Structure 1
Amino acid sequence: MTSLPNANRSGLPVPLIRVAGTPAECGFGYGATAREVIIANLELYLRRFRDAAGLDPATVRRYGLAFRAATATHHPRVAQMLDGVAEGADVPAADLYALNARTELIYGARPDGAAGGCTSVGVLGTHTANGHLLLGQNWDWHPDQREAMVLLATRDERGHSVLTLTEAGMLAKAGLNSAGLGVCVNMLGCDRDALPVLAGERGAGVPYHVLLRAALEAPHLSAALKRVCAGGRNSSINLLLGQAAEAGGELIDLELVPGDAGWLHPVDGMITHANHLETALPVHDVMKQLSGSSLFRSARARRLLRPAAATGRLTERDLAAVFHDHASYPQAICRHVDPADAPAERSETVYSVLLDLDDRRFGLAAGPPCGHRYTWLDLDLVAGRAEGRDQVAAASPNA
C-alpha cells in the first residue's frame, strides 16, 4: 500500500492512494491511509445532511445501515471493501455507508433541490484520430469538496485494477479499469426520487456511488450493465459507459431512475449528456422546472465536437476544449461559482476527467479546467502492474 500525500509534488491536484489485495484488504488500506480526509469528509456531509435535508446524525446512521444491507445483498464485494474502509479509518460503518448514499440522503428529502451540474462526453474509436474510445466529463459540485478528494487505484486478488477519482470515503466516481471499461456520471432528478422507508416494502436500494464502483468492478460492458440495473434505486443517476475499441468498442448511456431505465446509443459516433432526461421514461423530470444550463450543455458539446468527429480525427484536445467552454458563463460547461447563488448552493467544475480506454490512461485537471492542465496517469503503472517507470505523465498544455 502506497500513497502520495503531497499531491502537488507528483503533479497531481489530489492525493493518489494505491492499494492491493482482497476487497476487505483494499478497503482497509484505503481507510487507514486516507483516515484524516475521510473523517473530514464525513463531518462535511453530516453538516450537509442536517442543513440541506434536516437529518440528525442518529437518523443518518439508520439510513446508513439500510444502505449497507442493500449493498451487501446486491454487491457483496463492494460491501466488503466499504466495511474495510470503515475499519481502516476507524469510523462507524453506518456513517460511511451514509456518505456513499449522500445523493439519496440530500436530494431524497427534497428532490426539487437538485442542482444541475456535470457534462459527460463519449466518442467511439471510429471517430478518433488514434482509434481509441475516449470518455470525459466535468464534475460540478460544491467548491468546498475540492479538499476532500482522492484518486484511488486498486488491484484485487484476481488482478483486476481500477483507477477512479472519488470523494474521500467513497469508492468511485469517474474512472476506468484494466478491462478497458470506463464510466462517467451525471446527476438526474425525477419525481420518484425519495428517501427509503426503513420499515415496510419500500426499503433502501443500491446507493448511487455504489453503482459506480459496481460498474468499474465488471470485466466487460455487458456485466457492468447488469450490475448497475440490479437492486433497485432511491435516486436517479446517469451513467455513460464505454468499452475499449480493442474489445470491440462500444458506448452506451444509461438513465436510471427508481424502478426504470432508459438508454441512448451513439449518434455520429458520440454521446453527450448533462442533467436532464433525454429518453422517454414515464417520470417527471424535476430538472425541467429548475431549467438552467443543463438544457443546452449536452447539445452544445455535440455541436462543438461534430466537425472533428466527422473527419475521424477527434483527439483528447478536442474534448478538453469542450470542457473549457464558457457559453452562458458562469453556468457553462466549464462552470464557475455564481456569486448570486446562496453559499450552500454554489457549484463549480471541481475537477475535469479525460479517459483513454484503450491505453488505460486517466487525465485529471483541477477545476475550473479553463485555468489548469491535465495530468495523465497510466493505470497499469499506478495499480502496480509494472515497475521502473514514472507513475505520472507530464502535463499537457491543453489535454
Structure 2
Amino acid sequence: MQSSTCPPPLFAVQGSYVDMGEQLGKQTANLIEQSLDTYVRRFKNDAGLTDRDIDRWGTRYWQILKGYNTDIAAMLEGMARGSGQRIERLAALNARTEMLYGSGYREEGCTSVSVVSSHTADGHTLIGQNWDWHPEQGPATFLLATRDTNGFSVLSLTEAGMLAKSGLNSAGLGVCANLLVSDRDKGGYGVPYHYLLRGALQAKTMSKAHKAVLGVTRISSGNVLLADAEGESIDFELAPDDFGYLLPADGMIVHANHFESDVQLKDVKAGISALTLLRSSRLRRLLEGKAQDHSVAIPDLIRALRDSYSYPDGICRYPDPDVPENERVSTVYSIVMDLNTLDFWIAPGSPSENPYSKWNLNSVFTPGQHPALEFHPMEAAHVQ
C-alpha cells in the first residue's frame, strides 16, 4: 500500500488538556481504530504478544506517563474517552517502539537536519527531516495542533492515537526524531520514546526540553534533534542509561540512524539500516555550500530532502520492490520548519514526487484556513 499523495489533514483542538484529548478522540476515532488495528496486529505477529501482554504493558506505560507529565496524561485520558478506546491500548500504541522491542521490526529510518540562524539567508533557525516508515501508516497520520488555556500551542506530525512525532511549538522550539538501536535497549520500566518527543514539544525553553528527555528513566534508544528560534541547536543520542550529544558544525547538525557521538555502547542499527552511514554526510554535503555562504533557505532544505541518490534507499526513500510488501519502508512525510515564523512545510510520500504544503502555527486555529500549496517538484528544482 502506498502512502497518500495528498497533504495530511489538520486537526486543531483548544482548551484544557483533557478537553483537547477528548476533542481529538472524537474527531479521529476512525483513524485511531485503524492505527490500533495495524499496531496490535504487529504486536502479535511480529513481537509475539498476546492481548493480555498488550494490556499489561499498556497499563504500566499509562502509569509511567502519569508520573512523567500530567498534561500529556490528561490529553491521552481525554483521547480515550472521546474515541471510546481503552486507555491501556492507547498507552501501548504510544509505546509502539518499546512494545515491538526484540521483534526485529526496527526498520524505521529518518534523516534530520538543523541549520542555526547564523548560517541561513534570513537569520532564521531551520529544522526538518524525512520520516521513513511503513507506507500503510500514511493514511492514519495527520497534523495535530493543540492550544491550551494559557495560549501555549504545538503543531506536530502525529500517528492516530499518538500525541507527537516531529513538530514545533509557540515558544519557537522544534523537534525532529530518528530511530536508534543499541545493545542497552530493553523491555521494561521507563518513559517510552514517543512520550519524550511530546515532552520536548511541551517545553517552553531549550533547558526544559533537555530535562524532558534527559532527566528520566528510558528503556529504548532514539535520537532527538532540538533547535530554537534564538539560534541554538543540539542533538541527543539517547540510550536507556546514557546519552551522547552533537553540536552544530559549520552551522548544521545532520543525523540518520546510527550513533555519531562518543557514547559507549554497541550500535545495533549502523550495519543494517538502509544507507545510514552515508545519508547524514550526503545531506551535509548538499547544504554545505549554502551554509558556508550563510545563505541556507527553505528551498535548499527541500532540495536536499528530495535527493534520490542510491535509489530506493537514499535520503528520499522509496518502497523496495524486492522486499515483501508488509516490510517495505519509504518516506511517508517530509517536513521543514522555520522556528522564527513558525511555518511548517510538509510533503506526503516521496517528496521528490509531491508538492510541499505550508501551515503556520499562528493561523491553524482560525476556521477556514487552508495550507498554501507551493514548492512543486519542478518548481523547487529551479528556486535560487
Q: If the TM-score is normalised by the length of the shorter chain, which range does it land in?
A: over 0.9
- Residue 21 of structure 1 is matched in structure 2 by 15
Gaps of 5+ in 1: 1-7, 197-203
- Which of 300, 307, 314 aligns to 2:282? It is 300
Shift of 1:254: 0.5
What SS class does the counterpart of residue 374 from structure 2 fall into? coil
Give the distance between the partners of 1:339 and 1:88, measured in 2 at CA: 39
Shift of 1:232: 1.1
Give the distance between the partners of 2:303 and 2:90, measured in 1 at CA: 36
- Residue 155 of structure 2 is matched in structure 1 by 163
Shift of 1:261: 1.1
Shift of 1:299: 0.6
Shift of 1:291: 4.9
What SS class does the counterpart of residue 67 from structure 1 fall into? helix
What SS class does the counterpart of residue 183 from structure 1 fall into? strand
Give the distance between the partners of 1:214 and 1:185, measured in 2 at CA: 13
- Residue 397 of structure 1 is matched in structure 2 by 376
- Residue 354 of structure 2 is matched in structure 1 by 372
- Which of 317, 326, 349 aligns to 2:331? It is 349
Q: Which amino acid aligns with 2:29?
A: R
- Residue 81 of structure 1 is matched in structure 2 by 75
- Residue 137 of structure 2 is matched in structure 1 by 145
- Residue 272 of structure 1 is matched in structure 2 by 254
Contact kept, 8 Å, 2:257 with 2:270, in 1: the verdict is no
- Residue 131 of structure 1 is matched in structure 2 by 123
Gaps of 5+ in 2: none
What SS class does the counterpart of residue 158 from structure 2 fall into? strand
Matched, 1:229 2:208: no
Give the count of matched residue pairs.
Answer: 375
- Residue 167 of structure 2 is matched in structure 1 by 175
- Select between 291-300 and 88-97 the one with higher mean Cα deviation: 291-300
Q: Superposed, which structure 2 residues align to 1:2-21 within 5 Å?
A: 13-21=7-15
Q: Superposed, which structure 2 residues align to 1:27-66 within 5 Å?
A: 27-66=21-60
Measured against aligned partners, the alpha-carbon deviations of 1:188-234 in whole angstroms (never above 9, x if no partner) come to: 000111211xxxxxxx2111111111111111111011011122111
Give the distance between the partners of 1:342 and 1:278, measured in 2 at CA: 31
Identity %: 45
Give the distance between the partners of 2:307 and 2:147, measured in 1 at CA: 35
- Which of 67, 72, 75 aligns to 2:66? It is 72
Shift of 1:397: 2.7
TM-score (norm 1): 0.91
Q: Which amino acid aligns with 1:53?
A: A
Give the distance between the partners of 1:280 and 1:57, measured in 2 at CA: 40
Q: Which amino acid aligns with 1:396?
A: F
Shift of 1:367: 1.5
What SS class does the counterpart of residue 270 from structure 2 fall into? helix
- Select between 68-77 and 346-355 the one with higher mean Cα deviation: 68-77
Measured against aligned partners, the alpha-carbon deviations of 1:25-56 in whole angstroms (never above 9, x if no partner) come to: 11111011100100110011000111111111
Measured against aligned partners, the alpha-carbon deviations of 1:316-344 in whole angstroms (never above 9, x if no partner) come to: 11111111111111011000011112223
Q: Which amino acid aligns with 1:366?
A: P
Give the distance between the partners of 2:291 and 2:142, measured in 1 at CA: 32
What SS class does the counterpart of residue 381 from structure 1 fall into? coil
- Residue 225 of structure 2 is matched in structure 1 by 240
- Residue 200 of structure 1 is matched in structure 2 by none
- Residue 5 of structure 1 is matched in structure 2 by none
Contact kept, 8 Å, 2:109 with 2:273, in 1: the verdict is no
- Select between 341-350 and 84-93 the one with higher mean Cα deviation: 341-350
TM-score (norm 2): 0.95
Richer in helix (by share): 1
Q: Superposed, which structure 2 residues align to 1:383-394 within 5 Å?
A: 383-384=365-366, 390-394=369-373
Give the distance between the partners of 1:89 and 1:54, measured in 2 at CA: 27
Give the distance between the partners of 1:358 and 1:367, measured in 2 at CA: 26
Give the distance between the partners of 2:183 and 2:26, measured in 1 at CA: 39
Contact kept, 8 Å, 1:161 with 1:383, in 2: the verdict is no
Give the distance between the partners of 1:313 and 1:12, measured in 2 at CA: 31
- Which of 109, 120, 123 aligns to 2:102? It is 109
What SS class does the counterpart of residue 48 from structure 1 fall into? helix
How well do the aligned residues superpose, as a CA RMSD in angstroms? Answer: 1.5
Q: Which amino acid aligns with 1:78?
A: I
Q: Which amino acid aligns with 1:56?
A: T
